[in-house]
């Protein structure tokens, strides 16, 4: 299969999650004796293209009209590239970037798409995908009919690809601004800069729930413990709704899906919608004052108690140990 | 202005889902169904737009599926939607099929705005709205947490991994609702009674000229068992030892 990877990037290179998409693409290309290529869209992305070329040959659509990821423009460029190059499979990491853009590209390319893929296999030579349903309580195996097929993969299911020997070719994609849709305009991006790692990329995630009563407490308890462990901070929806944490912190079915080596849930009850976003973490720790809290059923280690007492003690103990 | 709000019927999110022994589907006997929570948010937003503006002529709720979708359409009516349409289809539907049916219906109904949920909480695709926008060649604003009318178009705040993104789209447009767009109202008992008397228009899918060809075929389902240790530790010291010496994560 000819596999195209839609890469997401930040200033210095492609995002870690896109390297998981590369890993998926490499596997499928190997299994089908096919090939892989990265596609990069943006403006002034020469340096990012150099970075991407360490993983695969790169196609770059570099144009001022593509400076921001507007779905209608991006989907148009992607679908044109896919048609021109006869791609069989398009993959991206399941982030809000790809969740917005890729289904729109699929709409232009015949509709054979599956999102949030966590595994793949061949049945009678046919590529099939595994994806969770019902907040992760069930896994479905699905087949896609039509060409091209488009998928988003959960980065946690495919460990990030390493660089390969040699440098991939970088090829410019001609962008004709005249044929790009112009019904969407970018106005602003309000991002809260954090000096902590990204919650989807960190090795350890410390997450807080309604057991944490204020922003100050969140920073002191959840943030304080996270800093001791070089961890990212996350939260349940309850804290986002209460305005205590920003939206980007929400872990769960309708927030971010994380699978770190260690997930520490502080004052989180364990609603299925929250579990859907963290239950594939390698080790789960829960601290909750309610011995009956459902979070204890999915935790490897549960400690019953008040986070206001236990977390400062934990920080102090880690201080002593390190 | 006419606002079209597609509604999906999904199992109540508080329910435990069981897979049929042969893996062909889930056990639906006795399973309560609701409006997809994100679609309820879309209905609420359409109603608020209508309440604030004099040029909203109609808020129309539409479902694509079997007769079983009727109660959820009635709930949308009870919340305050003006009318409801059931586009009848007995075949299993994937996001592409629903998008194709809605495109055909939008061609006939001519809404200025299609407001829908950002994802169904049953299968979590988050594909239908985007596909529909592509098919209609309309702009889209997904994962909306705020919608403002401005200069003949919309200014939409979107929840993205990078933060809040603000975009402007011209109308007609497809907007998909995120959780924090609003808190949907409950339908009162009296409005539920009233909604029961309303006529729901029924249209067979074939009448819209859409042929249902599956793009995404379900091969089977499996329940996911939990494989956790579930150890209760008695103290912080015990926890730290476990994490350091057994799990080697500290
Ligand atoms: C459509 C839909 C989508 C949703 N998506 C998400 C999602 O993506 N992510 C998500 O997280 N939720 C989501 N939810 C919400 C979810 O159902 C729960 O309401 C939410 O996860 C609860 O958050 P919580 O555990 O922080 O709060 P609660 O359920 O209120 O739990 C608080 C916990 O803190 C404990 N506690 C209180 N004080 C202390 C203390 N001092 N010390 C220790 N423990 C304490 C309590 O015992 C309790 O267990 C969604 C809901 C719906 C309907």
Top mutation candidate among A252, A295, A296, A311 for ligand 1, by most atoms within 8 Å of CB: A252
| Residues A161 and A208 occupy one common structural domain | no
* Strand (E) or helix (H) holding A188: strand A184-190
Which position has the token pair 């929250």? A274
pLDDT, average across residues A152-164: 96
DSSP B17: P
> Is B53 exposed, middle or buried (CB count within 10 Å of its CB: 0-12, 13-18, 19+)?
exposed
| Residues A163 and A233 occupy one common structural domain | no
Q: Which atom of ligand 1 is nearest to the CA of A236?
A: 11
Domain that holds residue B52: 2-249
Alpha helices in chain A (DSSP H): 16-31, 46-52, 71-85, 96-108, 215-217, 224-228, 237-241, 272-275, 295-298, 307-321
Residue A192 belongs to some domain of the structure? no
Q: Is residue A320 scored above 90 in pLDDT?
A: no
Q: Rounded to whole angstroms, what are the CA distances from B172 to A110, A307, B112, B118, B136?
A: 22, 50, 4, 18, 9
Q: Is residue A311 scored above 90 in pLDDT?
A: yes
pLDDT, average across residues A197-226: 97
Q: Rounded to whole angstroms, what are the CA distances from B2 to B66, B100, B109, B149, B195?
A: 25, 20, 9, 14, 20
Residue A256 belongs to some domain of the structure? yes
Single out the residue of B125, B128, B123, B64 nearest to residue B90, CA to CA. B64
User: Which of A117, A142, A177 is the endpoint of a domain?
Assistant: A177
Distance CA(B18)–CA(B35), nearest Å, equals 20
Q: Is A124 on the interface with B (CB under 8 A)?
A: no
Backbone angles phi, psi at A319, to 5 degrees: -60, -45
Residue A146 belongs to some domain of the structure? yes
Which position has the token pair 């994802």? B119
A175-185 tens-digit pLDDT: 999 999 999 99
Single out the residue of A297, A290, A245, A301 nearest to residue A272, CA to CA. A297
Residue A245 corresponds to which tokens in the numbers above? 């944490």
Task: Domain count for chain A, please give it.
Answer: 2
Q: Rounded to whole angstroms, what are the CA distances from B103 to A265, B48, B97, B211?
A: 43, 24, 10, 13
B64-81 tens-digit pLDDT: 999 999 999 999 999 999
Distance CA(B76)–CA(B160), nearest Å, equals 28
Backbone angles phi, psi at B179, to 5 degrees: -60, -40
| Residues A99 and A153 occupy one common structural domain | yes
Single out the residue of B176, B146, B180 nearest to residue B6, CA to CA. B176
Domain that holds residue A50: 2-177
Distance CA(A69)–CA(A66), nearest Å, equals 7
Residue A197 belongs to some domain of the structure? no
CA A234 / ligand 1 centre spacing (Å): 12
Residue A36 belongs to some domain of the structure? yes
Q: Rounded to whole angstroms, what are the CA distances from B68 to A299, B23, B32, B211?
A: 38, 22, 11, 21
Asked if B158 contacts B165 with a C-beta cutoff of 8 angstroms, the reply is: yes
Q: Per the omega criterion (within 30 degrees of 0), is the bond before A255 cis?
A: no
| Residues A26 and A154 occupy one common structural domain | yes
pTM (two decimals): 0.97
Top mutation candidate among A222, A235, A237 for ligand 1, by most atoms within 8 Å of CB: A237
Angstroms from A193 CA to nearest CA on chain B: 9
CA A239 / ligand 1 centre spacing (Å): 8
Taking contacts as CB-CB distances below 8 angstroms, the residues of chain A near B226 are 279, 297-298
Other C-beta atoms lying within 10 Å of the C-beta of residue A11: 7
CATH number of the domain enclosing B239: 3.40.50.620
Taking contacts as CB-CB distances below 8 angstroms, the residues of chain B near A108 are 134
Q: Is residue A223 scored above 70 in pLDDT?
A: yes
| DSSP-derived secondary structure for B178-204 | -GGG--PPPPPHHHHHHHHHSPPEEEE
B94-106 tens-digit pLDDT: 999 999 999 999 9
Distance CA(A33)–CA(B205), nearest Å, equals 41
Q: Is B125 on the interface with A (CB under 8 A)?
A: yes
Of A107, A138, A203, the CB nearest to B131: A107
Residue A189 belongs to some domain of the structure? no
pLDDT, average across residues A133-159: 97
CA A243 / ligand 1 centre spacing (Å): 14
| Beta bridge mates, B165 | A189, B158
| Cβ within 8 Å, pair A283-B95 | no
| Residues A67 and A156 occupy one common structural domain | yes
| Residues A105 and A23 occupy one common structural domain | yes
Residue B176 corresponds to which tokens in the numbers above? 């998909």
> Is A17 exposed, middle or buried (CB count within 10 Å of its CB: 0-12, 13-18, 19+)?
buried
Residue A9 belongs to some domain of the structure? yes
Angstroms from B43 CA to nearest CA on chain A: 19
pLDDT, average across residues A95-114: 98
Distance CA(A153)–CA(A300), nearest Å, equals 26
Half-sphere exposure of A82 (CA within 13 A, CB side): 26
pLDDT at B228: 87
pLDDT at A299: 97
Helix pair B128-136, A71-85: axis angle to 10 deg: 80
Of B133, B169, B218, the CB nearest to A142: B218
pLDDT at A191: 86
The residue whose C-alpha atom lies closest to atom 1 belonging to ligand 1 is B37
Q: Which residues contact A128 (CB under 8 A, 6 or more apart)?
A: A120, A121, A122, A141, A142, A143, B219
Half-sphere exposure of B161 (CA within 13 A, CB side): 22
pLDDT at A262: 98
Distance CA(A72)–CA(A79), nearest Å, equals 11
A8-57 tens-digit pLDDT: 999 889 999 999 999 999 999 999 999 999 999 999 999 999 999 999 99
Residue B49 corresponds to which tokens in the numbers above? 């737009």
DSSP B245: I
Asked if B176 contacts B143 with a C-beta cutoff of 8 angstroms, the reply is: yes
pLDDT, average across residues A188-192: 89
Angstroms from B125 CA to nearest CA on chain A: 6
Backbone angles phi, psi at A226, to 5 degrees: -60, -45
User: Which of A177, A193, A221 is the endpoint of a domain?
Assistant: A177
CA A19 / ligand 1 centre spacing (Å): 32
Residue A295 belongs to some domain of the structure? yes
pLDDT at B229: 84
Top mutation candidate among A271, A272, A277 for ligand 1, by most atoms within 8 Å of CB: A271
Distance CA(B177)–CA(A160), nearest Å, equals 31
CA B41 / ligand 1 centre spacing (Å): 20
B204-232 tens-digit pLDDT: 999 999 999 999 999 999 999 877 889 99
| Residues A99 and A11 occupy one common structural domain | yes
| Residues A157 and A45 occupy one common structural domain | yes
Task: Domain count for chain B, please give it.
Answer: 1
Q: Per the omega criterion (within 30 degrees of 0), is the bond before B172 cis?
A: yes
Which position has the token pair 């659509």? A61
DSSP A220: I
For residue B216, the chain A residue with the least C-alpha distance is A144
CATH number of the domain enclosing A170: 3.40.50.620
Distance, CA of B210 to chain centre: 21
CATH number of the domain enclosing A248: 3.40.50.1220
Q: Rounded to whole angstroms, what are the CA distances from B7 to B26, B64, B73, B183?
A: 21, 8, 7, 17
**How much is the ipTM here?**
0.97
Of A107, A253, A262, the CB nearest to B134: A107
Taking contacts as CB-CB distances below 8 angstroms, the residues of chain A near B218 are 140-142
Distance between start and end Cα atoms, chain B: 59
| Ranges of chain B whose pLDDT falls below 70 | none
| Residues A166 and A53 occupy one common structural domain | yes
């Amino acid at each position: 299969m000819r596999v195209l990877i839609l890469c997401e990037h930040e200033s210095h290179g492609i995002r870690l999650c896109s390297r998981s998409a590369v890993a998926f693409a490499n596997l499928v290309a190997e299994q089908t004796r096919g090939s892989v290529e990265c596609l990069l869209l943006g403006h002034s992305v020469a340096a990012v293209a150099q970075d991407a070329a360490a993983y695969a040959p790169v196609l770059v659509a570099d144009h001022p009209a593509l400076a921001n990821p507007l779905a209608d423009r991006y989907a148009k460029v992607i679908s044109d590239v896919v048609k021109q190059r006869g791609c069989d499979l398009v993959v991206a990491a399941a982030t809000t970037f790809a969740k917005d853009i890729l289904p729109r590209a699929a709409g232009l390319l015949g509709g054979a798409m599956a999102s949030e893929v966590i595994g793949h296999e061949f049945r009678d030579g046919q590529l099939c995908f595994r994806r969770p349903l019902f907040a992760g309580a069930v896994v479905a195996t699905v087949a896609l009919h039509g060409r091209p097929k488009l998928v988003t993969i959960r980065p946690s299911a495919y460990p990030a690809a390493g660089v390969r020997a040699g440098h991939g070719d970088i090829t410019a994609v001609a962008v004709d601004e005249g044929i790009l849709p112009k019904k969407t305009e970018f106005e602003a991006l309000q991002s809260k800069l954090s000096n902590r790692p990204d919650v989807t990329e960190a090795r350890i995630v410390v997450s807080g729930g309604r057991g944490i009563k204020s922003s100050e407490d969140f920073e002191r308890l959840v943030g304080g413990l996270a800093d001791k462990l070089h961890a990212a901070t996350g939260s349940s929806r309850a804290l986002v709704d209460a305005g205590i944490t920003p939206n980007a912190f929400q872990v769960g079915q309708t927030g971010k899906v994380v699978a770190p080596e260690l997930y520490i849930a502080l004052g989180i009850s364990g609603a299925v919608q929250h579990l859907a976003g963290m239950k594939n973490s390698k080790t789960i720790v829960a601290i909750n004052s309610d011995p009956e809290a459902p979070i204890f059923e999915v935790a490897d280690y549960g400690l019953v108690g008040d986070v206001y007492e236990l977390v400062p003690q934990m920080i102090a103990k880690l201080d002593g140990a390190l | 202005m006419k606002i079209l709000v597609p509604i999906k019927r999904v199992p109540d999110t508080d329910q435990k889902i069981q897979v049929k022994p042969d893996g062909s589907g889930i056990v639906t006997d006795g399973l309560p169904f609701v409006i997809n929570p994100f679609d309820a948010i879309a209905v609420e937003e359409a109603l608020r737009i209508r309440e604030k503006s004099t040029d909203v002529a109609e808020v129309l709720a539409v479902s694509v599926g079997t007769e079983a979708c009727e109660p959820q359409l009635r709930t949308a009516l009870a919340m305050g939607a003006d009318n409801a349409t059931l586009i009848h289809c007995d075949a299993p539907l994937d996001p592409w099929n629903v998008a194709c049916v809605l495109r055909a219906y939008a061609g006939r109904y001519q809404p200025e705005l299609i407001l829908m949920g950002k994802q169904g909480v049953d299968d979590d695709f988050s594909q239908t709205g985007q596909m529909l926008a592509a098919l209609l060649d309309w702009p889209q604003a997904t994962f909306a947490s705020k919608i403002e009318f401005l200069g003949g178009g919309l200014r939409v705040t979107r929840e993205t991994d990078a933060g809040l993104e603000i975009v402007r789209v011209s109308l007609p447009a497809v907007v998909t609702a995120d959780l924090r767009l609003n808190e949907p109202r409950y339908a009162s008992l009296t409005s539920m009674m009233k909604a029961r008397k309303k006529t729901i228009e029924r249209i067979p899918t074939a009448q819209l000229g859409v042929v249902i060809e599956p793009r995404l075929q379900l091969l089977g389902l499996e329940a996911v068992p939990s494989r956790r240790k579930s150890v209760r530790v008695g103290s912080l010291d015990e926890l730290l030892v476990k994490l350091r010496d057994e799990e080697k994560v500290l």
